[in-house]
Amino acid sequence: MDVPWLLVAHGSVTALVVVSFLCGQWPIFEGTFVQRINHFLTFGAYHHFLRLVHAACGNGAKDLVLGVERYCCERPNPILQVFYVAIIGVTYFIIVQTSFQYIPGYYVSGFHRYLSIVAVAIGALLFVLTSFSDPGTVTAENVSQYISAYPYDGIIFEEKECSTCKITRPARAKHCRICDKCVARFDHHCGWMNNCVGEKNTRYFVAFLVWHFLLCLYGAVILGFILAGELKEKKVIYILTVYYGIDNSFSGLFPHVAQWLLAVHNTQILLSVFLAIIALLLGGFCAYHTHLCLTNTTTNETFKWQDYIMWKKKVNEEKAAANGGVRKSPPSKWKAFFSKSHTQSDEKVVKNNIYDKGMIRNLCEVIVPLSERQPFSRRKSE
């Protein structure tokens, strides 16, 4: 009887950690325990670990940890790439060893043995394409073409020289301090790919996210059907209700069914829960990057617009106060989060994204980057 409560507690803690990690910095959670958990996960835990290492082993050990951090976070390295390959390889190996014996089953046909191989192979191919393709490096030879392709908006992008590359930095480009190069339509540097995500490989990166979200969801669903098939073939519910007199209801059967599954198919349950959690995380990233593609925005530009809007709001508030206006007290964070109304100063702050050309054209620009089109090549030859 304690098994269901253990599962509920485990699921609740997992959900709390995931929500705190992904959403803890939202304004709605400001000052709450969710924000404190987020701070601990993203900063506090590592800070306390450094203090523990310093107290236990001295400055030498602390400098060693900081050196490992610099190698992992400030230089190109294949650590996360190897970690990804290990996760995919080990997970699929465990699934083959423990779950393929139930395929074909009551609800799962033998076709899924071969479909799973193809699905994992496509995911690996997208990983290779994203990791080893050129993200769109800006050089002295193509900088003029990129400047023509991406005009400056005069708000978050203005003409200036890259202090490292010593060339004019095109709009939407950024110098990656890890890769040490300017990348056109820079989105972010992805440690999992050991590569920047930019103009030329955003399509591979988004396809990688979408495919792995579907892959994890597919794995969790198939494992669920395997468990359901085992319940059907072993007639577990029939035995519980007829021979043991268990009430034929969800509340009556669930504790006993869960106990049987954990005793007989605990590996499949752990794998399905693991894949479902990864699918949930990837689903959020997929939705975010799909929104960026459809609005022709990058992660880097999102942060720039946030900084600009915050700065503009402060300027507007200062102007209103200087003109004798009364500064209204801000609404509660819950009301501000759910309300769609804006104050007078908020309405003056407009995000004018000149690169947004409509969803269809924006998506086409991701699928076929501007640098791979004929007009770009003609400008280069001229």
* Active-site residue, from 23, 190, 196, 364: 190
CA distance 200 to 210: 18
Give the residue carrying structure tokens 């034929």: 248
Do 127 and 84 meet the contact criterion of CB atoms below 8 Å apart? yes
* Pairing verdict, β 181-183 and 188-190: unpaired
DSSP assignment of 142-172, as one string? THHHHHHHS---SSS---EE-TTT-SEEPTT
How many CB atoms are closer than 10 A to CB 125?
14
Are the CB atoms for 91 and 63 separated by under 8 Å?
no
CA-derived radius of gyration, the chain: 26
Spatial distance between the Cα atoms of 26 and 38, rounded to a whole number of angstroms: 10
Q: How far apart are CA 254 and CA 248, in angstroms?
A: 10
Q: Is 176 a catalytic residue?
A: no
CB-neighbour burial class of residue 222 (10 A; exposed 0-12, middle 13-18, buried 19+): buried
The whole-angstrom separation of Cα 378 and Cα 366 is 20
CA-closest candidate to residue 149, choices 373, 381, 382, 351: 373
What gap in Å lies between CA 341 and CA 227, rounded to an integer?
A: 48
Q: Give the single-character DSSP code of 175.
A: E
Sequence-distant (≥ 6) Cβ neighbours of residue 113 within 8 angstroms: 100, 103
Cα 362 from chain centroid? 21
Task: Using CA atoms of 69, 70, 74, 79 in order, give the dihedral in degrees to the nearest 10.
Answer: -50
DSSP state letters, 277-293 = HHHHHHHHHHHHHHHHH
Distance CA 151, CA 153 (A): 6
Residues identified as active-site: 190
